Every structure is written in C-alpha cells, then in structure tokens.
Structure 1
Amino acid sequence: MLEHVFSEMVIAGAGWTQEPPHRYILVYMKISLDRCVACGNCVAICPVGAIDIDPVINRATVDQDRCVECFACYRGLSTEHLNPTLVRSMRKVFSWFRLRFDPEPDVCPTDAIEPQDLAWPRIVRRAFSDPLVPHESTGIHGRGTEEVKTNDVTHRVGEGEVGFTIEFGRPSVSASFRDISGVTETLAAAGIAFEANNPVTHLMDDPSTGKIREDILDERVLSAIVEVKTTMERVPEILRIVREAAENIETIIAIGVSTRCDAEGGSALESVLHDEGVPFWRGKTNLGLGRASQVEPVAGSG
C-alpha cells in the first residue's frame, strides 16, 4: 500500500510519524496562540495565503484547508525567544505614543510556529510542496520528477516522440488532487499513457484509468506535475484535451512540450505548435553532456 511507501520516509528521518490506518491522528502546521503576538510576518511569507490574523483573538491562525504543509513559514523565518507577554505589553505602551514595536520582517519574535507530525493522507501535501523532502516513490526532491531535464541520460523521449509535462498549481495558486484527477482521467480515456517514474502516477488507483486514489482527492499541494508521452501526430489532440479540462478546474495549468531535435537542431514540433496557436520558445535544451546509461561496445575493443 502507498501508505507504507510514505511511512518509510519516517525511518529515513524525514520527521513524520504514521500510525496504522485505524489509528491515524490528523495534525497540521500550528501557530501557538499562547506565544503568537500577531506581528504578521508569517502572513506575508505563506505562498498560498493560508495564514491570517484573526481580528477577534488577535492571533495568527492557519487555514488548514488552504495550507499545503510546505513549511515555508517555519523555515523562512528566523526565530527569537522573546517573552510574548512582554512583547504585547511593550506594543500596547508604544501605541499610546503612536509608536510601533515590531520585529524585523524575517523573524518570528516569540518562536510561535510549531510544525506538527503529519499522518496519512495529509502527509501527501508536504511531499509535493516542501522542496527539501524527497518523494519516496522516485527519490527526487520537490515535485518528485526530473521531467526531461536529464533526457540525454534517461532517454524518456525518443526520436519521433513528444513528451508533455502538465503542471498544476503555482505559488499563490495551489492545486487539489480532485482537479488533477479530472484531467488525468480524461487523458487516460483517450488512451494516453502516463510516465511510470512519476509521483502522481504512483498515486493513481490504476494508471490505465488515470483515477487518483479516493482518500487523497481533497488534499491540496503547492504544485504537481503529470507526465505523458505520445507521437507527434497526437500533439494537437492532447493540447485540446488539456485546454477543455482546464475550463472546469480551479487552478493554473502550465504545459511543457519536449522532443528530440534533428542534426540541424530543428524539429517538426515547432510547426505543430504554431498551427495550434501555441507560442514556441526553446526553454531548455539538453546538450547531451550527461553520462550515457547504455554504451554500445566498440567493435574490436574486446
């Protein structure tokens, strides 16, 4: 079961704990109400706007539905250990003289942010949102895939083939697996195969249907990448499928398309994209400097 795949990350020292399924206790990123002094520094650093100052209690609170467990608030702010009662008193006294007593913008003055142990399925959020945590399914940090950046070594995309990276979400606009599943199911229905060495593929009940596991559909992540490979002739079809599916979901989709160039550095992909009204930029080029994974023996070399 995939729960066990993620639970191995605990053994690897990722700092997460997991109980058997019937004993799960869901815990999240937390800001201590006792220590918070409502300075607002964590509000500005959250990439998805999940932290706000509650005007009723005058404390920072985390919207657990929007939080993607990226740990940006925890790692992005240095900490001081000032007494929260003293800080609140000083701010109140200063306000009488229309003065402000605020910490530096990159500091949590009272060490109020308290990361909690994560359990399934919320642990999936951190796996896709925290760039310092590797995916257990691929061993790669961040979104868990190198895409075609290492194609000169991995040979994912061969001659005459086209690789697609379909990225869901961005900082400030996260994505839910329910939205992602809506697109992957549509692609699967068209007979499109998914890259096996990809963390989103590992979360599918059955890659042939593209349906993502029911228990994580409502989990949100900073971003996730779906990868597929097809022939040059099917490029317009895939672009159409993604465009139509994007109209029914509430996130941003960015598409990357890759292919092998010919000896002169050109490819048929440019004209195909031009015909579809898609702007073409050479964003990244593999120069073949990687170490070849398969080397043909030289004749007569023994």
Structure 2
Amino acid sequence: MRINSSKCVACGNCTYVCPMGAIYIDPSLKRATINDDECVECYSCFNGLSQEHLNPTMVRTIRKLLSLARIRFDPEPDVCPTAAFEPNELAWPRVVRRAFSDPRVPHESTGVEGRGTEEVKTNDVTGRVQLGEAGFTIEFGRPGVGVRFREIQEMCWALAQAKVAFEKKNPVTSLMSDLSTGTLREDILGEKVLSAIVEIKVPVERVEEVIRLVWDVEKRIRTVVTLGVGVRCESDGEDHVVAPILERLGYKLERAKTNTGMGRVSRVVEQPKKDLVSA
C-alpha cells in the first residue's frame, strides 16, 4: 500500500485503522507515511475508510484558514477525505503478506479466504481428525504484533523433528521447501503477516508431548502463539482421553461455542404423509 503525498492532508484518520500501527504522521513532511517493513498489506486502511475524493488543496486551505481562528477542522473519523490510498501491484514475495493478512483474499493453495484454512470446524465433512487422533492448530501473531515467517519456521523445525504430520491442505505447509524438516522457502522468511496457522496431527497419546514442545519454542520466538486442540467425541458425546490431559496441564475446558451450518445432513427423517381430506 502507498499513500499519495500530493493528496494526503494529514488528517490522521488512517493511523487509527491500521492494525499494525504502521501508519504515522511524519512531522517534517506533514503527511501520513507507511512503514513498509511493518505493513502487512491487510488493506484495512484502503477498505476501512470511505474515499471522498475532495480536492487536497481545498481541504488544506480550509484547515489553514480555520486554524487562524483557532478552529480545528477534521473529516469524519471513518473517511479519507482525498482518497490518498493507492494499492501497489504486489510482487513475490511481498504478495504473501496480503494473502495471510487480508481476510477477503483466498489462498491459492487452499481456495479459502482469511488464514487459508477452515481448521477443524468442518471436520465432520473433511475427516481430518479421526478417533484416536488429535489435531492441533498453532496460531502465530495478532493485530498489533504480527509474525514473520522466520519465527514460524522455528516452530515448524521443532515439530518436524518430533515427527508430527503436517496438514497438507494448509497455506503454511504449501510454503515449505522441505516438509520432512519443516523448512520454509528462503525468500519469504523476512515477510511479516498479521497471523498464520500451522496445523498438525498426532495420536492422542502424544498430546502432552506436543503441548510441552510448543511451550518450549514459544519462549524463543517474538510473537504471540495460540494453541488449539481438536478431537472427535466418543459415542457418548464426550472426550475421555485428551480432556483430562489438558486439565492436568492447567487448561480449563468449557463448551462455549457450537458451529452450525458447516456440516452435512447425516440422517434424513421422512415426514409421515398426511391424508388428503376433500371438502
């Protein structure tokens, strides 16, 4: 993303919508400026602000005249008054930033928007995780923090050494140059994204081992890590293997969310036919 300096009037509205704090008002230029290294190409500034296309010279003149009377003139907070944001034509590897950070862009490897994976939310259809298995989602980054692929690689290296199975239909997996070692492509390691998810699968007996491994690597990388564990319920609708492990490790389990509309019809009940009654 770039800001056209000839259009920018330094209203500052864009500085509040950037989830990475990458936009600031340069006091010497008196223009909004983007820190390209911190920008994750999420397009929040471009999509989140209305574009009014006002004449920049007119806006600057009005603000200057009003300032003489000690009156401050600012546009509405959700508006870029002069449409100063202009998307760049992103090339590789920078285009990876937008793929992982703009929720409206589908990943080429999976066709899924956002982080590029539905995780285990559609497991009843995809069948990624079966009885006796545990599926892990390891999420890196958050707004205001982000993550570079160099940090993600640290975790992938450790997971590969532990001989876990990486989910093939996952955008991070698709960027690995060597699946057996968890090594990512060299040309993307310095790229920063809003967040990314690594997915793996192990037998339920290895759940505690994997959790402790993630804990250990998390201490060495400079980002936020969120860990999710998914298992199939047994015939009584409960999990009697992984849940006790998580509770012993200090995780409090609560059922607070049920996804609907993401599965398929598994049982069709025929409605009894009603007799026709003629008048």
What is the TM-score normalised by the length of structure 1? 0.85
Contact 1:152 1:286 in 2 (8 A): no
Unaligned runs of 5+ in 2: 267-279
Counterpart code for 1:238:
V
Question: What corresponds to 1:30 in structure 2?
Answer: 2
1:288 to 1:123, Cα distance in 2 relative to 1, 3 A = closer
Q: Secondary structure at the match of 1:241?
A: helix
Residues of 2 paired with 1:149 and 1:262: CA distance? 17
Return the match for 1:271 from 244, 248, 266: 244
Deviation of 1:88 after TM superposition, in Å, equals 1.1
Distance 1:258 1:207, change over 3 A: same
TM (norm. structure 2) is: 0.92
- CA apart distance, 1:283: 4.9
Distance 2:184 2:251 in 1: 29
Sequence identity percentage: 60
Task: State whether residues 110 and 170 of structure 2, in contact with CA within 8 Å, keep that contact through their aligned partners in structure 1.
Answer: yes
Structure (1 or 2) with the larger CA radius of gyration: 2
CA distance in 2, matches of 1:125, 1:225: 14
1:45 alignment partner AA:
V
The answer for the alignment partner of 1:134 in structure 2 is 106
CA contact (8 A) 2:138 2:226 kept: yes
Task: Mark the CA change 1:240 to 1:272 in structure 2 (over 3 Å): closer, same or farther.
Answer: same
Distance in 2 (CA, whole Å) between partners of 1:235 and 1:209 is: 20
Aligned length: 265
Q: 2:165 aligns to what SS in structure 1?
A: coil
Q: Which moved more, 1:244-253 or 1:279-288?
A: 279-288
Change (3 A) 1:286 1:161: farther
Q: Decide whether the 8 Å contact of 1:152 with 1:292 is kept in 2.
A: no
Deviation at 1:171, TM superposition (A): 1.5
Change (3 A) 1:61 1:32: same
1:185 equivalenced with 2:161 (yes/no): no
**Cα root mean square deviation, aligned:** 1.5
Residue among 171, 175, 189 paired with 2:143: 171
C-alpha deviation, 1:286, in angstroms? 5.9
Distance 1:251 1:64 in 2: 19
**8 Å CA contact 2:125, 2:264 repeated in 1:** yes
Deviation at 1:210, TM superposition (A): 0.5
Deviates more, 1:257-266 or 1:174-183: 257-266
